[in-house]
């Protein structure tokens, strides 16, 4: 019999920070990425923290990705994995209460759990194992003879639903009653595939789309969780559950 499943984004949805960013930060801290190269990311991150522009986070993230892509071919796989392990140990338990509890509840109810993230597959696998996910997917960077070749497969928004379809087929799961949780517009294509999408701490674009589609919206702020349930009317109203 096919099993029910739930799929979770990881960065900013379960973990309170971005694992991809954490790995790059750690590599820079260990001087495996030059200060000169990393300075552009620091400057862009400060602009995001100042909230100077609604797209400041995207600008910062794109610069961070370019820095990582440029630096990775100079970093050994062993050094990379040392940073992955350090970031995993630092952030593995820095989670949101809502999603952490939801994972536990769904496991108790017999759901299969999938984790899908654009972060490097090595750290995604560590987190997935730590929280008892059945399978996972992430961005992959080709390695040969202990070194990165520069070839990569980054898990973009268009690939997330394809990967989800593959995981569902692989594990003979069932989309009926399926649940998905994401926090940004990059998760929209994946959330569109499940029966019960949840926009958790959504970005502006995800929030707007979720309201249009009448999806459940959840916000966790400090030690309070706000669950917003769509109402059966024609006014787009939500009820604070």
| Domain 3-16+93-240 falls under CATH 3.40.50.1000 | yes
**DSSP strand pairing (112-120 vs 238-240):** unpaired
Domain ranges of the chain: 3-16+93-240
Three-point CA angle 35, 84, 115, nearest 5°: 125
Give Cβ neighbours of residue 121 (< 8 Å, ≥ 6 apart).
Answer: 136, 137, 138, 139, 140
Q: What does each of the 241 residues of the chain score in pLDDT, given as a tens digit?
A: 788 999 999 999 999 999 999 999 999 999 999 998 899 889 999 999 998 888 888 899 999 999 999 999 999 999 999 999 999 999 999 999 999 999 999 999 999 999 999 999 999 999 999 999 999 999 999 999 999 999 999 888 789 999 999 999 999 999 999 999 999 999 999 999 999 999 999 999 999 999 999 999 999 999 999 999 888 776 778 899 8
- Alpha helices, DSSP H only, in 92-240? 97-108, 121-130, 159-170, 188-191, 204-213
Residue among 164, 83, 75, 66 nearest 123 (CA)? 83
Question: How is residue 109 written in tokens?
Answer: 């109810």
């Amino acid at each position: 019999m096919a099993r029910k499943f739930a799929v979770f984004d990881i960065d900013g949805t379960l973990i309170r920070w971005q694992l991809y960013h954490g790995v790059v930060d750690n590599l820079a801290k260990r001087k495996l990425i030059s200060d000169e190269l990393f300075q552009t990311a620091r400057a862009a991150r400060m602009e995001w923290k100042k909230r100077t522009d609604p797209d400041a986070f995207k600008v910062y993230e794109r610069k961070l990705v370019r820095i990582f892509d440029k630096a990775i071919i100079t970093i050994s796989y062993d050094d990379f994995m040392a940073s992955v392990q350090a970031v995993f140990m630092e952030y593995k338990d820095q989670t949101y209460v809502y999603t952490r509890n939801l994972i536990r509840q769904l496991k108790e109810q017999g759901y299969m759990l999938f984790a899908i993230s654009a972060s490097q597959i090595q750290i995604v696998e560590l987190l997935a194992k730590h929280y008892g996910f059945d399978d996972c997917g992430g961005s992959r960077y080709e390695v040969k003879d202990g070194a990165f070749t520069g070839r990569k497969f980054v898990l973009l928004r268009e690939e997330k639903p394809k990967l989800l379809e593959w995981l569902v087929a692989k594990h003979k799961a069932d989309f009926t009653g399926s649940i998905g949780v994401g926090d940004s517009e990059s998760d929209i294509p994946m959330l569109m595939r499940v029966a019960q999408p949840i926009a958790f701490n959504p970005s502006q674009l995800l929030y707007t789309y979720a309201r249009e589609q009448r999806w459940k919206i959840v916000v966790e702020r400090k030690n309070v969780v706000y669950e917003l349930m769509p109402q059966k009317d024609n006014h787009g109203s939500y009820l604070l559950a």
